[in-house]
Amino acid sequence: MPPDHASASGFDLERFLPYRLNSLADRISQALACLYETRHDLSVAQWRVLAWLHHREEMTAKQIREATRMDKAKVSRAVQALEDRGLIRRRPSPQDQRVQDLRLTAAGKDLLAELIPEARAWEAELVAPLSVEEYRELLDVMGKLERQLARLE
């Protein structure tokens, strides 16, 4: 049951869910970033762009911004760097020539074929203390919080 936050004097930051989730997400992101920065010379933003293009196959920069909640400049720099490395390609959208569709190149797919198993192995090590049931419950609870947040926004 959630704690009673009615009193300011009873406020414990270490038990405040938004703080704990943000702190945990930052620590996980930074630890995982070491994997793809040192082994593959990718920034967090570049990894997120590649991961979403792997997940959706083709997206616009705007769609990636919305999916990752990264700002426009960060996505733009990541897209440019990935294009310069030959990992993604842009082409004008057939529906709207002002919009550019982004896709992984063969080199981008090859990189992800190497990187994704490494990321999954890292994730497995992170969640090793959890049972299969606890892991499923964690994902279920996160889904409930995400749906509630969508209703509150």
Reduce the DSSP state of residue 105 to 3 states and report it: coil
Question: pTM score, two decimals?
Answer: 0.81
Domain 12-126 -> CATH class? mainly alpha
| pLDDT, position 7 | 58
Place of tokens 């590649």: 50
Rounded CA Rg of the chain? 19
pLDDT tens for the chain, residues 1 to 153: 565 555 566 788 888 999 999 999 999 999 998 888 999 999 999 999 999 999 998 999 999 999 999 999 999 999 999 999 999 999 998 888 888 999 999 999 999 999 999 999 999 999 999 999 999 999 999 999 999 999 998
User: Number of C-alpha atoms within 13 angstroms, CB side, residue 33?
Assistant: 11
What are residue 92's DSSP bridge partners?
A: 100
